[in-house]
């Protein structure tokens, strides 16, 4: 849309027009009698003595009229019942609206419907559609609603006239749609107003006449265009388009429920959004208003207290402008590609290509060409794609035969996403933010275009990715919260604590950080709940039998949500085996489950390879619960340090047991107490066997680049061989059987002035061991508090004074907090403002 639209002739702007306000009411605003009353009340509340009101047909009327014409042409007589229903709807609304004063309007309407019936009968006889008849029929709804509103306003005491736009507005039809004959129209309007001076004027939208005097229409959404034309003809000070939304929204609310109304748009921003499918305003509407700098406001008939969106008007001055005001999409498109080495450096290739498309009446939505000139890519309507491909093949038939053009190809199923905003101009990083947001969702961009004005970046994506792409981009520019769809596997003690922490923090994160963490699925070995975030707290009440992780995955990776994340709080090796597939599918994974990091090396490598493609894998809680053990090691190594040795107490459970054990109570009693407090795994043997500690050591070793497997760790188990194969219940019942051995070991150590601690060690040569160690009473590991873990890193930088990470390392709340922290780290990489 050009800002250099032809200026209106001086005669089109009456000298006394400064106080005139122009309004347009759409079909939803005129759906029934109560809606007409609401419109009248809105107009009565407007300041100023002059009101110009352009109206659409009552909601659904234009579609009904088109259907009537089609039915009549078919000649089956089926139009008569629909005609009677449409007639009765208008008569009933008029009776409700005007009451005892309805007779004249009813008679006028009845005459109009009789004329319509005669015209339909003629079409039925002819059996062929007539453009003149079809357009005359399509515009009748506006004629009827204008008369109904005008008569009601007159009855309410307003000095009001009714103008049939066909008596004034003259248009021609060209490739760009209806073109106004401004000189003729302005002269006719001035003459009509001289004969009809009432300060209030109701005008039919959508309809006009050709230069030959034939009734015509301005096209669908033409009432907005009519409103802009008559606002210009009347010299209005402002045009308000009343509809059923609070203004222009930042995105399509059907795809982005969090879309917000925009307070203001420039003409250029409105043109870009209108072209790319924003439904609130039609692109042609802006041509007449831009020509004379007429401000436009989009408002809601059903919420007149809302200020709506101002388009044009005063400049925003020096106020900071967001880089992107809104996003829009066009669907049902196809990418058309012309490719070949013979195009490089050959003048006129693009001209021939687009000339061929023009000759085939194919509209081009978007164009993209690399500087190598090896290919030209454009986006066209999918319905036109076959015709477009055939046109290019005809135009380049010789070059295709000689191999100078390698191929002409079409890829259907495409949508174009456009990011629009004046603030994008000269602002570095806008494209990076858009492309990064799409990449983090695993969305591939098929083509890119950006104009020199820098106020629009357009990208072509697969149609299946439309909703996710729009939501991701909307959140990336902070127009809506960054939404993450979360699925939880293993809602045991840690998982339950995490659910509670997520629920407690959700409102705060949404309010303060625009981060929307939605737990939408919970799975156990035997139960599955699929829902939305508001039902997660009571998931067990709605769960179904069976832990179908395929259904779980499909629900978590919802098409309409940009990001998916699985939190695995189970201790299942089978669930860990799914990580690589989840990550490859673009689903982020956060876990305290050690089976991935300490499992088979091939699986670990597959997980790391999959996460390198974009999806995030976070597992800080696998080693130190809530302690930053892995991140500390990564910081050391990433900054060039070298790990010489790592040792520590990696089990909060075993730390608690040996910090508490002094021989005064049996060791088995302490194990029972730790189990009751939630410090142990569901099967305490996972802790007492040393396997859990060994897994943590393997994870640390692999993080440091050491190729270590669980079988390579020398492990001292505290579980007697006689109890290793028993059930959990039997094991807990027979715990006391190894009290004597632990007591004897403790007594010898105490007599030597030392203490017992369960220690893990990794040296620079990759040797690894875990087991009970007798440490001096003044050793750093000898004075830990309760469940404290401690990890000591000896590195090239920290050789003489090792770096120590210490803190609580057991308990559901602590571990859940560590997992929650990883969830927030993932969210931050997705663009959340944390």
Task: Supply the residues annotated as catalytic.
Answer: 696
CA dihedral 643, 648, 650, 651 (to 10 degrees): 170
Q: Which residues lie across from 790 on neighbouring strands?
A: 649, 806
- C-beta of residue 592 within 8 angstroms of C-beta of residue 819: yes
What lies within 8 Å, CB to CB, of 283 at 6+ separation is 1, 271, 274, 275
Question: Three-state DSSP class for 133?
Answer: helix
Question: Three-state DSSP class for 766?
Answer: coil
What lies within 8 Å, CB to CB, of 194 at 6+ separation is none
Q: Which of 664, 669, 648 is nearest to 760 (CA)?
A: 648
The Cα–Cα gap between 31 and 145 comes to 10
Tokens of 663: 């021989």
Q: Which of 417, 419, 256, 410 is nearest to 330 (CA)?
A: 417
Question: Three-state DSSP class for 522?
Answer: strand
Q: Which helix (H) or strand (E) holds 319?
A: none
Tokens of 108: 């006028």
Question: Secondary structure of the chain: what % helix, strand, coil (to 5)?
Answer: 45, 20, 30
In whole angstroms, what separates CA 484 from the centre of its chain?
A: 11
The Cα–Cα gap between 222 and 287 comes to 13
The Cα–Cα gap between 421 and 464 comes to 26
- C-beta of residue 697 within 8 angstroms of C-beta of residue 648: no
The Cα–Cα gap between 611 and 666 comes to 47
The Cα–Cα gap between 404 and 413 comes to 28
The Cα–Cα gap between 603 and 47 comes to 72
Q: Which helix (H) or strand (E) holds 109?
A: helix 103-126
Q: Please give the C-alpha separations between residue 417 and each of 245, 250, 326, 423, 473, in angstroms, as whole numbers.
A: 22, 13, 11, 18, 9
- C-beta of residue 587 within 8 angstroms of C-beta of residue 508: no
The Cα–Cα gap between 259 and 517 comes to 18
Q: How many residues does the chain have?
A: 834
The Cα–Cα gap between 318 and 181 comes to 39
The Cα–Cα gap between 807 and 785 comes to 8
Q: Are strands 309-311 and 364-369 parallel, antiparallel or unpaired?
A: unpaired
CA dihedral 89, 93, 95, 98 (to 10 degrees): -150
Tokens of 321: 């402008």
> What residue has token string 């305290």?
592
Angle between helices 131-138 and 103-126 (to 10 degrees): 160
> What residue has token string 């017992």?
756
| Alpha helices, DSSP H, located in 262-369 | 267-275, 286-292, 349-359
Q: Which of 827, 204, 265 is nearest to 515 (CA)?
A: 827
The Cα–Cα gap between 288 and 303 comes to 27
The Cα–Cα gap between 229 and 312 comes to 16
């Amino acid at each position: 849309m050009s800002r250099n639209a032809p200026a209106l002739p001086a005669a089109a702007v009456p000298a006394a027009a400064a106080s005139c306000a122009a309004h347009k009411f759409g079909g939803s605003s005129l759906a029934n009698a109560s809606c007409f009353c609401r419109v009248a009340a809105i107009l009565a509340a407007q300041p100023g003595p002059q009101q110009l009101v352009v109206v659409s047909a009552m909601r659904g009327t234009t579609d009904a009229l088109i259907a009537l014409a089609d039915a009549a042409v078919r000649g089956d007589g089926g139009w008569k019942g629909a005609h009677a229903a449409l007639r009765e709807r208008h008569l009933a609304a008029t009776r409700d609206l005007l009451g005892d004063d309805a007779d004249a309007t009813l008679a006028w309407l009845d005459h109009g419907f009789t004329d319509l019936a005669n015209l339909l009968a003629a079409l039925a006889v002819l059996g062929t559609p007539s453009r003149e008849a079809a357009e005359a029929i399509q515009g009748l709804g506006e004629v009827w609603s204008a008369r109904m509103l005008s008569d009601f306003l007159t009855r309410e005491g307003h000095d009001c006239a009714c103008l049939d736009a066909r008596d004034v507005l003259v248009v021609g039809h060209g490739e760009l749609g209806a073109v106004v004959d401004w000189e003729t129209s302005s002269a006719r309007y001035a003459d009509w107003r001289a004969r009809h001076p009432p300060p209030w004027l109701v005008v039919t939208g959508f309809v006009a006449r050709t230069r030959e005097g034939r009734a015509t229409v301005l096209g669908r959404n033409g009432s907005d265009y009519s409103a802009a034309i008559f606002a210009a003809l009347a010299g209005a000070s402002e045009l308000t388009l009343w509809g059923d939304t609070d203004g222009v929204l930042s995105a399509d609310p059907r795809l982005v429920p969090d879309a917000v109304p925009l307070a203001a748009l420039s003409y250029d921003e409105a043109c870009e959004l209108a072209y790319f499918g924003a439904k609130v305003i039609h692109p042609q509407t802006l041509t007449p208003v831009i020509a004379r700098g007429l401000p436009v406001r989009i408002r809601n008939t059903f919420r007149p207290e809302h200020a709506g969106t101002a388009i044009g008007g005063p400049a925003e001055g020096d106020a900071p402008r967001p880089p992107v005001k809104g996003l829009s999409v066009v669907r049902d498109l196809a990418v058309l590609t012309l490719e070949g080495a013979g195009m490089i450096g050959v003048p006129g290739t693009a001209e021939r290509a687009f000339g061929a498309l023009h000759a085939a009446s194919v509209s081009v939505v978007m164009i993209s060409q690399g500087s190598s000139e090896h290919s030209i890519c454009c986006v066209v309507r999918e319905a036109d794609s076959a015709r477009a491909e055939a046109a290019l093949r005809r135009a380049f038939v010789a070059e295709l035969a000689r191999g100078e053009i390698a191929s002409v190809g079409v890829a259907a199923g495409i949508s174009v996403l456009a990011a629009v905003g004046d603030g994008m101009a000269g602002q570095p990083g806008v494209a990076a933010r858009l492309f990064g947001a799409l990449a983090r969702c695993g969305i591939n961009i098929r083509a890119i275009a950006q104009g020199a004005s820098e106020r629009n970046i357009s990208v072509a994506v697969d149609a299946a990715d439309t909703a996710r792409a729009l939501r991701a981009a909307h959140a990336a520019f902070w127009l809506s919260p960054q939404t993450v769809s979360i699925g939880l596997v293993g809602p045991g003690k840690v998982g339950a604590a995490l659910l509670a922490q997520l629920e407690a923090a959700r409102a705060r994160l949404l309010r303060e950080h625009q981060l929307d963490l939605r737990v939408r699925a919970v799975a156990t070995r035997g139960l599955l709940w699929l829902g939305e975030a508001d039902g997660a707290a009571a998931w067990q009440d709605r769960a179904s039998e069976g832990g179908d992780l395929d259904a779980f995955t499909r629900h978590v990776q919802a098409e309409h949500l940009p990001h998916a994340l699985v939190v695995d709080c189970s201790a299942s090796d089978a669930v860990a085996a799914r990580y690589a597939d989840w990550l490859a599918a673009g689903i982020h994974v956060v876990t305290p489950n050690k089976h991935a990091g300490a499992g088979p090396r091939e699986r670990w490598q597959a997980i790391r390879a999959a996460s390198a493609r974009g999806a995030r894998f976070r597992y800080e809680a696998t080693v130190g619960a809530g302690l930053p053990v892995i991140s500390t090691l990564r910081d050391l190594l990433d900054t060039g340090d070298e790990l010489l040795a790592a040792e520590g107490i990696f089990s909060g459970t075993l730390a608690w047991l040996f910090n508490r054990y002094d021989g005064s109570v049996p060791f088995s009693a302490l194990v029972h107490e730790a189990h009751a407090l939630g410090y142990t795994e569901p099967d305490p043997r996972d802790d007492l066997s040393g396997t859990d500690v060994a897994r943590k050591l393997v994870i640390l070793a692999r993080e440091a680049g050491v190729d270590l497997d669980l079988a390579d760790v020398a492990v001292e188990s505290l579980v007697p061989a006689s109890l290793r194969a028993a059930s959990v219940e039997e094991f807990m019942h027979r715990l006391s059987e190894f009290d004597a051995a632990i007591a004897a070991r403790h007594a010898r150590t105490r007599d030597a002035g030392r203490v017992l601690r369960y220690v893990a060690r990794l040296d620079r040569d990759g040797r690894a061991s875990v087991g009970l160690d007798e440490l001096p009473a003044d050793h750093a590991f000898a004075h830990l508090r309760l469940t404290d873990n401690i990890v000591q890193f000896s590195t090239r930088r920290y050789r003489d004074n090792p770096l120590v990470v210490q803190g609580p390392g057991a308990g559901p709340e602590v571990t859940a907090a560590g997992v929650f922290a990883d969830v927030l780290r993932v969210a931050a990489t997705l663009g959340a403002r944390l």
